[in-house]
Structure 1
Amino acid sequence: MDKFRAMATFVQIVDAGSLTAAAAATSQSPTGVVRLLAALEAALGVRLLNRTTRRLALTDEGRDYLARCRRILADVEDAEHLLSARQHRPAGRLSLTAPVMFGRRHVVPVVNEFLAAHPDMQVQLLLLDRVVDLLEEGMDLALRIGGLAESSMVALPLGATRQVVVASPRYLDRYGQPQVPADLGRHRCLAFDAGDRGWSFEIEGERRVVPIAPVLGTNQVDAALDACLQGLGCTRLLHYQVAEHLAAGRLVRLLRAFERPAVPIHLAYPQKRLMSLRVRAFIDFARPRLRAAVPGDDGARIAPAGPGV
């Protein structure tokens, strides 16, 4: 059995969602794909996929093996590109993850521009409001908001943003404007977290959590923002998420004197990963555009570059 071919076929099966589709994508017969998968599972001594007549589902072992296969295949592809005549023209697959709203607003336009400028490139863009382990999931780059806990990551600063409390003029006309964080206990709050019962502020030089009683708790930024725009309450979101509404006067920034320090926005990649031409090309293309796209926030500091920032 050609182990490398078997690994590539296994990844293709998962990406295609079926054995038949994987066979077509790899120019193999469906029978050949089934046999190759069975031989791979036999060699490993584990089942990688649970197969029914309707769908395929990764086992726990299959999920772990998939991440490692992606990483190995990407490294092989990197080596081939570095040694080929194509090294002066970026080509191949790039994988990138970003938070949902920031990704939709700022990353998607940059990715589209990049693909138009580099027709030999393919980009897999994963928008998720969770931290993705790039090494474990075999991805190249991540846009991160907040400090990086992993010392193994190289962080390229793009800007900074902070949490801000906002409300619509219609809401403030009806309920008045809070003057200090404690006033929020008497206001209708919209929480971007179904379990959120307190917002943190900088009070007398210390971080303090002020209790709130949300009339709406949601795990979707857009839901909290829409309710706020309709005058249903005040909410706390990141500045970039509300910048356009503040500029247009649809929202008012509240309790500014008590805001917590800004958090950095980074483009990050694994320190141990060989820097391929396609990754370098995307960083060089995207970084100035993303820096320009981050809405300005008075006093928001930009963190220094370097690993583990």
Structure 2
Amino acid sequence: MSDKLRSMEVFSAAATAGSFAAAAQTLEMSAVMVGKHVQALEQQLGARLIERSTRRQTLTEIGAAYLERCRDVLASVAAADQVAENLRAEPQGSLRISAPATYGEQRLTPVIAEYTARYPKVRIDLVLSNRVVDMAEEGVDVTIRSGPIVDTTLIARPLQPGRVLAAASPAYLKKHGTPKHPADLAKHNCLVFAGASTTWRFRRGDEQVDVAAHGDMVSNTGASLVIAAIAGMGVVLQADALMEPAIKAGQLVRLLPKWELPSRAMHILRRPEARPSAKVRSFVDFVLERLG
């Protein structure tokens, strides 16, 4: 199809210029090559487009009708190219983003609000899910993932790692005391995430302490565990994105701040396009500035 479009372009130039030689100068090719393009179209159509003589050339009836349609097609192609170029030059259109639920709600959504304020022509389609999405199959432009990157064909950029914090409510600590060492947690009511390891691992330099967490509540959502901790039920271990709002509000108190808990790598990913659109490129850069 690209060869035919080129031949249509050459035919249109030849008809407009009035001769193969004049068209050749405009197109920066030889007059012989102009003739070959026209002949190729005539062979495909099974009809003569231009009557040629040593002095002049004139369009046949079919040639005149075909020229009109060629100009329409070439104008449509140019308009399509311009649309693509505009999308590359200025962030606009729909941007489909996928992210883990908690991270998306607590970390990403405020950044998206800033981004759309700067680029109002971009419409955001945000999908929050803890499963790994197929970007191509589900039409996702940008995704954020935690943990190791399995699909190495995607373009991945690192974000700040997702940390895990330990916390409890002021009322709980007033009643049960504040743990000074990870081993003290063995005496506390620990709120446990269902399906996760019940061993809480703390590190400080070369020192490592494993705590067998046990308590009277297990849940399959981190949010419910944080709410329970705020209500004074016990000690919770959850992602910083989920815990920090409650800590800043004074609803929870961070415990053992000099000890580190396992963190998870975070990345922002896009598909491997040689020339990503302006909306994708600008959004990735924007997120990296704030969360990278």
Normalising to structure 1: TM-score of the pair?
0.58
In the TM superposition, residue 284 of structure 1 has moved relative to its aligned partner by 3.2
Matches within 5 A, 1:19-30: none
Deviations 1:151-195 (A, max 9, x none): 233332332332111111211121223333333332111123355
- Establish whether residue 253 from structure 1 lines up as the match of residue 254 from structure 2: yes
How far, CA to CA, are the matches of 2:140 and 2:246 in structure 1?
A: 34
**Structure 2: gaps spanning 5 or more residues:** 1-79
Give the conservation status (yes or no) of the 8 Å contact 1:167–1:231: yes
SS in 2 for 1:224: helix
Cross-structure match for 1:151: 152
Give the conservation status (yes or no) of the 8 Å contact 2:159–2:267: yes
SS in 1 for 2:178: coil
Give the conservation status (yes or no) of the 8 Å contact 2:223–2:242: no
SS in 1 for 2:174: helix
Matches within 5 A, 1:165-244: 165-193=166-194, 196-202=197-203, 205=206, 209-244=210-245
**Distance verdict in 2 for CA 1:285–1:195, change over 3 Å:** closer
Deviations 1:68-96 (A, max 9, x none): xxxxxxxxxxx967744454223332211
Normalising to structure 2: TM-score of the pair?
0.61
In the TM superposition, residue 246 of structure 1 has moved relative to its aligned partner by 2.7
**Distance verdict in 2 for CA 1:196–1:217, change over 3 Å:** farther
- Establish whether residue 277 from structure 1 lines up as the match of residue 275 from structure 2: no
SS in 2 for 1:134: coil
Matches within 5 A, 1:18-167: 83-167=84-168
How far, CA to CA, are the matches of 1:114 and 1:235 in structure 2?
A: 33
Cross-structure match for 1:303: none
Residue type at the aligned position of 2:140: M
How far, CA to CA, are the matches of 1:218 and 1:273 in structure 2?
A: 44
Cross-structure match for 1:263: 264
SS in 2 for 1:267: strand
In the TM superposition, residue 115 of structure 1 has moved relative to its aligned partner by 3.5
Give the conservation status (yes or no) of the 8 Å contact 1:162–1:238: yes
Q: After the TM superposition, which parts of structure 1 deviate over 4 Å for at least 4 consecutive aligned residues?
A: 79-83, 206-209
Give the conservation status (yes or no) of the 8 Å contact 2:190–2:234: yes
In the TM superposition, residue 136 of structure 1 has moved relative to its aligned partner by 4.4
Give the conservation status (yes or no) of the 8 Å contact 1:201–1:259: yes
**Distance verdict in 2 for CA 1:127–1:84, change over 3 Å:** same
**Structure 1: gaps spanning 5 or more residues:** 1-78, 292-309
**Distance verdict in 2 for CA 1:167–1:86, change over 3 Å:** closer
Tell me which structure has the larger Cα radius of gyration: 2
SS in 2 for 1:160: strand
Q: How many residues align?
A: 213
Deviations 1:222-268 (A, max 9, x none): 21111111111001012232223333433222233442354343322
Deviations 1:102-149 (A, max 9, x none): 212332233344344444433221011233232443311112334433
How far, CA to CA, are the matches of 2:240 and 2:117 in structure 1?
A: 30
How far, CA to CA, are the matches of 1:268 and 1:286 in structure 2?
A: 11
Give the conservation status (yes or no) of the 8 Å contact 2:104–2:128: yes
Residue type at the aligned position of 2:182: P
How far, CA to CA, are the matches of 1:81 and 1:232 in structure 2?
A: 61
SS in 2 for 1:256: coil
How far, CA to CA, are the matches of 2:200 and 2:116 in structure 1?
A: 40
**Distance verdict in 2 for CA 1:273–1:97, change over 3 Å:** farther
How far, CA to CA, are the matches of 2:114 and 2:225 in structure 1?
A: 30
Deviations 1:193-222 (A, max 9, x none): 355533233378476653222322222222
How far, CA to CA, are the matches of 2:110 and 2:186 in structure 1?
A: 40
How far, CA to CA, are the matches of 1:137 and 1:193 in structure 2?
A: 29
